[in-house]
Structure 1
Amino acid sequence: MLATYDTDLAAWANHTAHLLREKRWDEVDWEHLIEEVEDLGKSERSAIGSQMERVMLHLLKWEYQPQRRSDSWLDSISDGRSQIRRKIEDSPSLKNYPDQILDKEYKRACREVARQTGLDIATFPPNCPYSSDRLLGDWLLE
């Protein structure tokens, strides 16, 4: 029995790649193939946003809870930055995406820091104090 998009995504993807290599255009499930290609771009953007929130979350904790600083925060900041850089290297068209979502991800990070730390959300600046270039750089607050 041939796997379909709905029954086995991995098998469907392999079969679709086989059909494309053999130029068997009439047999390709174009609707789902287009959907999957569109989702790839969404997934890359979502990953960048998630990592930006993670980096800002730990930078804010680093700045506003200096007494609790830890190596795990540093590791998280460093890894998040690395993940973002890697996504942009793999997809250069996303180079400006961090600028586009900076404010949205900053607000998410503030809400999460407030939840995790018990600090009032008003503690944090209303606008993101980091540029995306600085956010992705190798600096750290003292």
Structure 2
Amino acid sequence: MSDYQKDFYSWTREQVEMLRSGRFDELDIVNLIEEIESLGRSEKRELENRLTVLLVYLLKWQYQPARRGQNWQLTIQEQRLEFFDVLNDNPGLKSQLQALLTHSYRKAKIRASKETGLDTDDFPGTCPWEFPQLMDDAFLPD
């Protein structure tokens, strides 16, 4: 059997073959569990990243109106679409949306501050938008 640490690709191929052929007693259960858990965390991180980028650009849109442009608008639209794609593929994450929003907004404030030169205190302490607004294709803050 391939070493999980040294040749991950070969290890995954072998695990798949064992699963397909019903050789369950040969599976590397400990590492399979770790990888399956990692997949779930990865999807959650992807959703959080999409939401964070969306929030960064909405903050920039609201707080730097002179710099608004088509590229920002396109980024906002793309992040919404990608967010929906990840959420549709992982409906179990819907129950965590509020926590994701809280965490993503904290990260977005820091990133928006760095990108705009504004202080983090210039932005609201909590997210000023609700999910329906954030996901509304027509919504752009004033």
* TM-score (normalizing by structure 1): 0.93
Offset of 1:83 from its aligned partner?
A: 1.4
Gaps of 5+ in 1: none
1:27 equivalent in structure 2: 26
Q: CA RMSD in A?
A: 1.3
Unaligned runs of at least 5 residues, structure 2: none
Superposed displacement of residue 27, structure 1: 0.9
Residues 45, 97 of structure 1: 8 Å contact kept: no
1:81-113 CA-to-partner distances (Å, cap 9, x unmatched) read: 111111111111112322222122111111111
The separation in 1 between residues aligned to 2:2 and 2:76, in whole angstroms, is 41
Task: Give the deviation of 1:47 after TM superposition.
Answer: 0.7
Three-state SS of the structure 2 residue aligned to 1:130 is: coil
Deviates more, 1:115-124 or 1:60-69: 115-124
Counterpart CA distance in 2 for 1:105 and 1:132 is 12
In 1: Cα distance, 2:99 partner to 2:31 partner: 29
Q: Could you tell me which residue of structure 2 aligns to residue 44 of structure 1? A: 43
Distance in 1 (alpha carbons) for counterparts of 2:8 and 2:15: 10
Quickly say closer, same or farther: Cα 1:13–1:58, change in 2 above 3 A.
Answer: same
Matches within 5 A, 1:95-106: 95-106=94-105
* C-alpha separation in 2, matches of 1:133 and 1:16: 42
Q: Does 1:141 align with 2:138?
A: no
Match of 2:11 in 1: 12
1:56 maps to which residue? 55
Report % sequence identity: 34
Aligned counterpart, 1:83: 82
Query: Number of paired residues?
Result: 141
Q: State the one-letter code of the partner of 1:87.
A: V
TM-score normalized by the length of structure 2: 0.93
Q: Quote the residue 1:129 is aligned against.
A: 128
